[in-house]
Amino acid sequence: MSKIKVVHYINQFFANIGGEEKADYPAELRVGEVVGPGMALKMNFGDEAEIVATIVCGDSYFNENLDKAKADILAMVKEQAPDVFIAGPAFNAGRYGVACGTIAAAVQEELGIPAVTGMYVENPGADMFKDKVYMVSTKNSAAGMRGAVSKMAPLALKLAKGEKIGASCEEGYIPNGVRVNFFEQERGSQRAVKMLLKKLADKPFETEYPMPSFDKVAPNPAVKDLAHAKIALVTSGGIVPKGNPDHIESSSASHYGEYDIAGVMDLTSETYETAHGGYDPVYANEDADRVLPVDVLRDMEKEGKIGELHHLFYTTTGNGTAVASAKAFAAEFSQKLLADGVDAVILTST
């Protein structure tokens, strides 16, 4: 009996090419090579399947050249004619997760080849693609590689064989909105009582009906005296000096920028632009004040409505950026804002 043929997709980091400095690595087909996480997949497959090719693509290249990268990779996959396609796992890497979800869904929809990927539940790629492709739930870092691959491999084999896929709690994939019936060993009343007893004893328990977890932030008190307040601008709209000197990614940003606007009265098309890839950039590039209202705040400064506009602004792109990354950015630059005596921040988006 012939082995199941697998094509595996990974990014530049897991291919041992490099980190962020190599994120612009173009799509490359490596026939017969098993690389990085592919070694762990190979061990889990045993004699049932083999990785016939590995496709490597840099995260920035994929997201910034989406149409070309997707077309090139689809052609590579089609040429290899695998029985199943595996992308990742991406864990909590935002751009990698979006790339894995995008290409796995495309392979499934356009080539009719079953696909599976894996990532952390808070990865932006999870929300975008969990209802389009089977996506194994992983830990938030590569430290969870063994557990991720141990679930991805058997799920991929089932998909390749056309076997029935069980419920998410059985197979380990992120719930996709499709309900699957199965039999529990204990009836509902017994399970409910056990959960209640664990809760009363302050012991960990797992609900069978998880609710969405929303981050609650208590609002700060109102600024009492705006006329003497120092106001700072922060944006997720990607406004950067012309040329994007810090190379902030158009999607799934890995860092933010800090730029000095001392003496700047107006953001012109010759001096500022947007790096954001999630909205039409034309109007922001014509006048970046539409996203980062420096001109209006300068007027308010002159009129005495605010004390002063802080000379630094902080910017990143919110498009596909992981929540954990965004929190980390804010935790860092908020300390700088406090140290600079900023009284309030105006946060603009798109």
DSSP state of 215: -
Q: What is the pLDDT of residue 182?
A: 64
- DSSP reduced 3-state for 235: strand
> What share of the chain has pLDDT > 70, as a percent?
97
Question: 311: exposed, middle or buried (C-beta count within 10 Å: 0-12, 13-18, 19+)?
Answer: middle
248-280 pLDDT, tens digit per residue, is 988 778 899 999 999 999 999 999 999 998 788
Beta bridge partners of 134: 116
The greatest distance separating any two alpha carbons of the chain, rounded to the nearest whole angstrom, comes to 81
**Is 1's pLDDT higher than 70?**
no
Domain boundaries, the chain: 4-171, 226-348
- Supply angle C-alpha 148, 253, 338, rounded to 5: 115
The whole-angstrom separation of Cα 93 and Cα 95 is 6
115-146 pLDDT, tens digit per residue, is 999 999 888 888 889 999 999 999 988 889 99
- What is the second-level CATH architecture of the domain 4-171? 3-Layer(aba) Sandwich (3.40)
The whole-angstrom separation of Cα 157 and Cα 171 is 12
DSSP state of 142: G
The whole-angstrom separation of Cα 82 and Cα 160 is 9
Structure tokens belonging to residue 272: 């500022």
Location of structure tokens 């995008």: 102
- Report the candidate in 144, 148, 142, 196 with the shortest Cα–Cα distance to residue 172: 148
pTM: 0.66
Handedness of CA 202, 174, 158, 90 (dihedral sign): negative
Beta bridge partners of 348: 235
**Confidence at 171, pLDDT banded by 50, 70, 90:** confident
Instruction: Tell me which of 142 and 185 has the higher pLDDT.
Output: 142
319-338 pLDDT, tens digit per residue, is 778 777 888 999 999 999 99
The whole-angstrom separation of Cα 133 and Cα 57 is 20
38-53 pLDDT, tens digit per residue, is 999 999 999 999 999 9
Q: Are 151 and 171 in contact (CB under 8 A)?
A: yes
- Report the candidate in 6, 278, 251 with the shortest Cα–Cα distance to residue 117: 6
Structure tokens belonging to residue 85: 């396609």
Q: What is the pLDDT of residue 173?
A: 87
Instruction: Tell me which of 163 and 175 has the higher pLDDT.
Output: 163
Instruction: Tell me which of 324 and 78 has the higher pLDDT.
Output: 78
The whole-angstrom separation of Cα 188 and Cα 65 is 50
Location of structure tokens 């499934």: 108
Q: Which residues contact 7 (CB under 8 A, 6 or more apart)?
A: 51, 52, 53, 54, 55, 76, 77, 80, 82, 85, 86
- Report the candidate in 193, 203, 152 with the shortest Cα–Cα distance to residue 173: 152
- Supply angle C-alpha 137, 142, 146, rounded to 5: 70
**Is 235's pLDDT higher than 90?**
yes
pLDDT, average across residues 83-106: 93
Taking residue 45's Cβ as centre, other Cβ atoms within 10 Å add up to 20
The whole-angstrom separation of Cα 173 and Cα 121 is 10
**Is 342's pLDDT higher than 80?**
yes
